[in-house]
Structure 1
Amino acid sequence: MFSGRQQTHIVIACFGGWTMDAFDFFITAFALSGIARDFSTDLTTMTWAMSLPLATRIFGALSVGWLADKFGRRRVLVGNMIAFVLCETGVCLAPSLSVFLLFRALFGLVMGGEWGVCTSYAMESIPLSKRGFVSGLLQSGYPVGYLFAAVLYGLIYESAGWRGMYLVSIGVALCVTILRMMLPDYRMDGEKKAAESVSFRESMAGQWVLLGFAVLFMSAGATFSHATQDLYPTMLRAERGMTVHEVALVAVAYNMAAVAGCLCGGSLSQRYGRRKTIITSAAAIFLILPFWAMASGLLASLLSAVVMQFLVMCVYGVMPAYLNELAPAAIRSTFSGFVYQIGFLLTSANATVQAWLATHQGWSYSTVLALTVAVSLVLFISLIVKGQETVRIAERSVL
């Protein structure tokens, strides 16, 4: 087991990678209209800049996860962040839409393994009693990245444009790379031997029902979470007439709530169990959904979005611990990353379909997004109700 200082170093380095993933993704979300204008295309076509990285992540989850399980977490995480810098540079300097989309697809491939490797590395390195809190902390990297993107959008977008925002992302990623170069490496001898001698398919023998459950579960979760996030800034501008600074203000507020939600959900799951925390939080989303969809004006939109993202991230704050506890030990990085990312693959075209319905079929953004959340949430809850609990009574800490 690592020392307390080493554990902190590992958690910060893993948190930084997941933060950078979200930071990049939501830079694209905020700047989508401007990028479309610069490349002389429409918004529906431009949503492929968000859909392509989601679609290619599954291949990164399999390849990067396998490398981490076989050769160790640290070296793979360092290489992954170097590749992130290279892809981000390509996006920043892209001379045409086709080149831009190519690097967005490569970005998804590179970052697809980030979540699985980071969560497995962190979960393996900390005491069991801290697993719930650290699960929420790691997942909070996503709203923190979103928050940074919102602040950056409000501060420099009108002066530096989307290329300037990507340039800032490159600088931050270089800092994370340096931090990761100083990480300790660790893997239990039994896991190393198993990873070298047993394939993913062999490790999953007799557990395909578990894999099917996890894939459907994460697909439903990816659908409702992204429906509340990806096109929400676009809806605020196009449908509710907000300015750039008003959109940034709302995004900052609901991402601060999302960070709190991750920490709350993860911590509560250590005491009350993973399933119970997920089910309670997901059910509460139904209560706020009508207010979130029908809100008008800055204050109402801000308050409903704050509550919505708090609840969504209460659900997701449990995911790192839950999926890693479900996973076979020998392929923990591969399994957790694969399950997490395949959900995004199966739902990768959602933003494009939602934008098409809103811009070409006369639907309002609020209607499209609310229906997507409602349908996927029903499926999500019905699956997790039938799932298994993973945290043992002996492992639960007193909050």
Structure 2
Amino acid sequence: MSLEHDRAYPASAEVEENQPHHMSISQYIATRIPTLKPPMHKAPNPFKLLALLNTQQWLFFLVAFIAWSWDAFDFFTVSLTVEDLAEEFDRSKADITWGITLVLMLRSVGSAIFGILSDRYGRKWPFVANNVLFIILELATGFCDTYESFLGVRALFGIAMGGLYGNAAATALEDCPEAARGIISGMLQQGYAFGYLLAVVFARGLVNTTSHGWRPLFWFGACPPVLIIIFRLCLPETHAYRERKRVREAGHHVGKTFVAEGKVALRKHWLLLAYMVLLMAGFNFMSHGSQDIYPVMLQNQYNFSADAVTVTQVVANLGAMTGGTIVGYCSQIFGRRISIMAMCVVGGALLYPYTFVSDTRIIAPAFFEQFCVQGAWGVVPIHLMELSPGSFRTFVVGTSYQLGNLVSSASSTIEATIGERFPLPPKGDVKRYQYGKVICIFMGCVYAYVIVLALVGPEYLGRKFDVGHDHDMQEAAGRDAMAFAHDEVGPARGQSVDEEKADAAERREK
């Protein structure tokens, strides 16, 4: 399988990686369409791909998936209790949603802080610290007695939430076998949809079922991170990070080497980093634009009951999880960019039934629309990992994702404001609006934007994550330090200790 995969992608990562540095702008533009051509080889068996992961790699994936799922759970706890919080603090619903907005605004701060810590000191301890903050802040939210304290706690939670995504992606994918990266990326990303489903289920079971009202949901949210911390403490650092750490230590000036890596990355890749933020802005507009006021459209425009809205949302999220996994797998076969673009085209074609079917038959287009939205998202973790400079993967993946989230945080406000310009006949005292028309137009524009960004951007499919293939690290640390990259690190992906020692000896001789 691995040999067949390598033949299918002959040095594709290195060719793409070097294009921007050795081509003029016109030459680079001329390569954008030809490089979309997918490798022509037989689709690998997905179960065989999953079997490529060894026990440790599966454990890395599981701890990252669970943590990302619970991160999403903690985020949606406020969304699902807006009415109860408004009543508790004697505020309007709009005031309570500031608790959500603050989280979105401060995610970028957390991604920068924890991203740098993770790239400098390893994935393990920043991950643990991140989850300790989740415990403290979820408990604190459940004990808030004033609106001001609620906003303060949720603002801090935004910093904690922003710090997890990049670390989770690095933990799950750094040591993942190259051929299995696509499907593992798709599975990891759907932790977000899975977390939402968990939040819906536990909100039904815990909110207003005791004398404490909404608070038990937040108290419960603080419990699983304890188990996640224990899980992570039982695992070592990723092999890829230990290689990098060994190179830094070989230079005897770890801090200086890390700073030098940052300077090299910024000088050589600043344009790529800007591109990644723009791309993630489009992706976040895609998810928020298709999801945030969709329940409002169902209830207000099409008179769905609360139960019908819940069923439609659950089915849509099932479509999201299915799409993310399948398209993530397909991106390993057809390429990252073309997989994203294909989902945007199909998703655009489904916008009309997604927003204009007025009865319960809308469940089908809801499933397939979110299949496309989250199908494209399933490519994101590994695409960002492959684009990111090796020394700053956690920082770049997390920060580009969260800055994109910040840019798109006004999606629901934009759609709701424009929607009110298209009134419908009221139902009793309830004003009704054509939210479906606005979502349809808005999403059409977003899909077009993402298609253009994916088309003009680079793709490093099959890029090696080990430090030996990192030219930036070689420039920052020097060739002498690189000679010790694999020494005393331990077995690589799927290798025995003896095989790793033999490889290390061979590399030193060369």
TM-score (norm 1): 0.91
- CA distance in 2 between partners of 1:44 and 1:358 (Å): 17
Instruction: Write the deviation string for residues 114-141 of structure 1: whole angstroms up to 9, x where unpaired.
Output: 1111111221122111111110111010
Is the 1:47–1:352 Cα contact (8 Å) retained in structure 2?
no
Map of 2:401 onto structure 1: 340
Instruction: Write the deviation string for residues 53-89 of structure 1: whole angstroms up to 9, x where unpaired.
Output: 1110111111100000000001111110110111111
- CA distance in 1 between partners of 2:365 and 2:87 (Å): 30
Map of 2:507 onto structure 1: none
Is the 1:60–1:109 Cα contact (8 Å) retained in structure 2?
yes
Deviation at 1:41, TM superposition (A): 2.6
Map of 2:244 onto structure 1: 190
- CA distance in 1 between partners of 2:285 and 2:448 (Å): 11
Bigger Cα displacement from structure 2, 202-211 vs 54-63: 202-211
Map of 2:460 onto structure 1: 390
Correspondence 1:323 to 2:377:
no
* CA RMSD between the two structures: 2.5
Bigger Cα displacement from structure 2, 104-113 vs 365-374: 365-374
- For structure 1, the residue ranges without an aligned partner over 5 or more in a row are none
Distance change in 2, residues 1:307/1:162 (3 Å): farther
Q: How does 1:75-94 map to 2 (within 5 A)?
A: 75-94=125-144
Deviation at 1:30, TM superposition (A): 2.6
Correspondence 1:179 to 2:247:
no
> SS where residue 214 of structure 2 aligns?
helix
Is the 2:181–2:332 Cα contact (8 Å) retained in structure 1?
yes
Q: Which residue type is aligned with residue 374 of structure 1?
A: G
**Off by >6 Å, runs of 4+ in structure 1:** none
Is the 2:269–2:389 Cα contact (8 Å) retained in structure 1?
no
- CA distance in 2 between partners of 1:210 and 1:393 (Å): 16
Deviation at 1:393, TM superposition (A): 9.9
Q: Which residue type is aligned with residue 384 of structure 1?
A: A
- CA distance in 1 between partners of 2:381 and 2:53 (Å): 22
Correspondence 1:118 to 2:188:
no
Deviation at 1:242, TM superposition (A): 3.4
Q: Which residue type is aligned with residue 268 of structure 2?
A: G
Count of residue pairs the alignment pairs up: 393
Map of 1:374 onto structure 2: 444
Instruction: Write the deviation string for residues 295-329 of structure 1: whole angstroms up to 9, x where unpaired.
Output: 323x2232222111111111000001000000000
> SS where residue 267 of structure 2 aligns?
coil
Which of 1 and 2 has higher RCO (CA within 8 Å, sep 6+)? 1
The partner residue of 1:283 within 335, 345, 351 is 345
Distance change in 2, residues 1:53/1:368 (3 Å): farther
Correspondence 1:301 to 2:301:
no
Instruction: Write the deviation string for residues 328-353 of structure 1: whole angstroms up to 9, x where unpaired.
Output: 00111111111111101112233344
Deviation at 1:244, TM superposition (A): 3.5
Distance change in 2, residues 1:239/1:27 (3 Å): farther
The partner residue of 1:145 within 182, 195, 200 is 195
Deviation at 1:201, TM superposition (A): 4.7
Correspondence 1:267 to 2:290:
no
- For structure 2, the residue ranges without an aligned partner over 5 or more in a row are 1-51, 249-253, 424-432, 466-510
Q: Which residue type is aligned with residue 366 of structure 1?
A: G
Distance change in 2, residues 1:176/1:236 (3 Å): farther
- CA distance in 2 between partners of 1:108 and 1:374 (Å): 30
Q: How does 1:1-399 map to 2 (within 5 A)?
A: 4-160=54-210, 161-186=213-238, 187-190=241-244, 193=248, 196-198=258-260, 200-297=262-359, 299-357=360-418, 363-392=433-462
- CA distance in 1 between partners of 2:217 and 2:303 (Å): 23
Q: Which residue type is aligned with residue 183 of structure 1?
A: L
Is the 2:124–2:236 Cα contact (8 Å) retained in structure 1?
yes
Is the 1:224–1:372 Cα contact (8 Å) retained in structure 2?
no
Is the 1:47–1:351 Cα contact (8 Å) retained in structure 2?
no
Distance change in 2, residues 1:366/1:28 (3 Å): farther
- CA distance in 1 between partners of 2:334 and 2:321 (Å): 20
Deviation at 1:282, TM superposition (A): 1.2
Question: Which structure has the larger Rg?
Answer: 2
Map of 2:25 onto structure 1: none
- CA distance in 2 between partners of 1:258 and 1:230 (Å): 15
- CA distance in 1 between partners of 2:125 and 2:303 (Å): 47
Is the 2:108–2:399 Cα contact (8 Å) retained in structure 1?
yes
- CA distance in 1 between partners of 2:132 and 2:373 (Å): 31
